[in-house]
Amino acid sequence: MTDQHRVPPQPGGRATRFPVKRRVVLGTAFAGGAVATAGLLLRPWQSDPAAGTDETGDGRVHMQIVAHPDDDLYFFNPDVAQCIRDGKPMVTVCITCGEGDGRNGPDTEEQDYESYVAARYNGLRAAHADMTLKKPLAEWTREKLKFKAGPTAELATLKSEPRIQLVFLNLWSNAEKPGVKGRRLKQLWEGETDEHETLVPAASPIGKKYGYDRETLLKVLAELLDRYNPVVVRTMDPDPDAQEHDAANPRYADQKGYSDHEDHTPAGLFAWEALRSWWKDGNGDNTVVESYRGYYGRRWPRNLSAKARKDKGRTMNVYAWRDERECGDPNGCGDLNITGKGVGTAYGASTTYRYSGDTGWLRRTGDKRLFAALVRGGRAVQWLEPESGSDETNSFSLVGTDLMLPSLNTCTSGAGVWHTVGVTAAFTEEPGSHTRNLLVRDFTFTGATGQWRSLGNPDADRKGRKRRGVGMPVAVAVGEGRLLVAARNYDRSVSVRHRTASGSWDDWKHLDGPVVQDGLSAVSLKTDTADIFASAADGVVQWHRDGGSWDQSTLDTVVPAGPPTAVALPDSRVLLLVREAETARLFGYVGDGSEDGWKDELDLGGDGGVGSIAALAPKSWSGRVGIAVRNDAGTVSVTVLDTKRDKKPKWRDGGPVIVHMPSLALDGTGRLTAGAIDADGRLHLARQAQPGIGAPENWTVVAR
């Protein structure tokens, strides 16, 4: 959250607070104090360092890398809370201390940066203790963490649940102050400043300030990745949306021209570059990455259900010290600059993934074996079922070496030929040198494994930062050997590129239409036609291609909470699925693809959740459709909808807490099969007990 702009007052006002007292350094403000050397200190939850195991099982750690001390609460939750409840070891790394103007609360006149930072850290520790134990005042051990790169940070460990840790690097958010060396995180990333100092918070175990340059911060983050070897890493958004600021869209605390805080973007870039370096050194082959939108959430309808907002809001209330608890630190027990109750009415009411998770990653080969195309360790990998219908495990195989963003989409053009599309990235300190290029891989399971080919970037002829606005691509076959690839562009509309029957590619074409969210869906009902769907602020936008021409219309749906999903039915109709804003309920619309050919909406219910929707309509199912979504518990909800009957389907919830989105396919025996990546980075499958009957059940690990 913003470190120098207070959140505008929101409905509900602000509860009366105890006044924040003048800072007094307490000798009992922290426990511990032993100097720890990164790479040598035993993780506090480990029981046997030689064996490399720990008390929680296999030690698969989740790491959050954030700019400010409340970013994981605002932007990554409910995901963090779900994984804490699931027992995962969790470490959050705060790069800057978020000192703001040094005043804790709108009514505070006295400026004290060190005291305000201490209060924010107290609030974050309390919030994590509350998510873990429902005890905001639970005790923490606070100690020094010395890095080989030079600086020392604070390591805070929840005493009764040592799997929960916080690391505070303490860089000034805005070092352009008298007597302080440095500027902002953006200038540090771009190499415009060679020293950026840290702040020493009140009552901190860190006794002096340190200096960072760009390489030092990258080395420190790499040391932390080495120390924890995380299986899941969550980052800020390195590629924020363009945003025109005007009377209708006030700037608030956005950076100029973009919909996010100026510290969030370089925090995301530093995290991704540290990961790239770590992976290059042969580490983290199984690591899964998720990046989250920041202030983007205030520009779009709220996507969390009422229950999810309440749960997230409880944690925010603890951080903001709304319970007026007495924590024993006169610096303050939370951040009084957070006004309004719970998640508020701005960005806290949504959780949005920057690289919108695709649901088209689980498919079936010509010999009836399932396969999955995913990104792990920053590279494209593939899993293949050992035998048709088998729950035996098999390893992932590497099918790409370039750094890939987290989501892949796979489709077939028939005759056993498959096509996977994704985005490769290079993060550079020079703003104009970044690359975000779309790639396509054509492959079979009976011949060549397939090479990746660059499709360039829809905004390749524009300035470097504008090339970073590309979304996650989708592909659809529009005839034998012909392929259409679509992606959101910098202008927040849609661009397409078409491969002809001869194998040559047309140039990128920008389609006219309104601003839409990322997360496209595409279907083709007959040769040389295609329909692309995306969510706008007030409905779902449809682009229809017939031959070489495109028409665009906005469909009258519920206000979308996120990406829509379209699936072709056997009778040449389309089922369009949309989550509703504010409720996260699922609604369906059946039509023939024409603007006026959509049937009345179907209220499909569901159990909340965010993200893309998986759907599968096998030809043999006569209009029945399998549907799978990520729900409010972070697990998977699955149902089978009969589009020919006006009856609300029954949902089956279960399986592991997951990352990314679920996917659906028919296995070799004809059973509907759901796939998901669990919070330990493992591939799970669940299958119907009998073909065509009931929802998939009995989740089983098939790849680690």
Q: Is 70 exceeded by the pLDDT of residue 692?
A: yes
- Based on the structure, what is the number of domains in the chain? 2
Give the lowest-confidence range in 78-92, 111-125, 228-242, 453-467: 453-467
Average pLDDT over residues 359-372: 96
pLDDT tens for residues 18-27?
A: 333 333 332 2
Is residue 685 within 8 A of residue 364, CB to CB? The reply is no
Q: Is 90 exceeded by the pLDDT of residue 264?
A: yes
Q: Is residue 135 in a domain?
A: yes
Distance CA 259, CA 570 (A): 41
Q: Is 80 exceeded by the pLDDT of residue 53?
A: no
Q: Is residue 18 in a domain?
A: no
Average pLDDT value over all residues in the chain:
90
Tokens (6 digits) for 94: 């705060």
Instruction: Kindly report the backbone phi and psi dihedral angles of residue 264, in degrees, each rounded to the nearest multiple of 5, phi listed first.
Output: -65, -45
Is residue 140 within 8 A of residue 159, CB to CB? The reply is yes
Q: Is residue 27 in a domain?
A: no
Q: Is residue 581 in a domain?
A: yes
pLDDT tens for residues 293-336?
A: 999 999 999 999 999 999 999 999 999 999 999 999 999 999 99
- Taking CA atoms, 297 is separated from 189, 249, 263, 290, 495, in Å, by 25, 13, 16, 16, 23
Q: Is 60 exceeded by the pLDDT of residue 16?
A: no
Q: Which residues pair with 565 in a beta bridge?
A: 577
The per-residue DSSP string of 466-482 comes to HHTT----EEEEEETTE
Distance CA 556, CA 53 (A): 54
Amino acid at 285: D
> 145: domain CATH number?
3.40.50.10320
Q: Is residue 51 in a domain?
A: yes
> What pLDDT sits at residue 58?
53
- Tell me: do 423 and 311 sit in the same domain: no
- Tell me: do 312 and 384 sit in the same domain: no
- Tell me: do 510 and 569 sit in the same domain: yes
- The residue written with tokens 């350094």 in the block is 25
> What pLDDT sits at residue 137?
98
- Tell me: do 338 and 367 sit in the same domain: no
Structural domain for 328, as ranges: 35-344
| CA within 13 Å, CB half, 303 | 31
CA angle 577, 581, 586 (to 5 degrees): 30
pLDDT tens for residues 150-207?
A: 999 999 999 999 999 999 999 999 999 999 999 999 999 999 999 999 999 999 999 9
Strands 140-146 and 35-37: what pairing? Answer: parallel
Q: Is residue 13 in a domain?
A: no
Give the model's confidence band at 494: pLDDT under 50 very low, under 70 low, under 90 confident, else very high. very high
Give the model's confidence band at 414: pLDDT under 50 very low, under 70 low, under 90 confident, else very high. confident
Average pLDDT over residues 95-114: 96
CA angle 135, 136, 139 (to 5 degrees): 85
- Tell me: do 614 and 643 sit in the same domain: yes
> What pLDDT sits at residue 46?
52
Average pLDDT over residues 630-641: 97
Average pLDDT over residues 488-512: 96
End residue of a domain, out of 314, 344, 374: 344
- Tell me: do 333 and 392 sit in the same domain: no
Q: Is 80 exceeded by the pLDDT of residue 593?
A: no
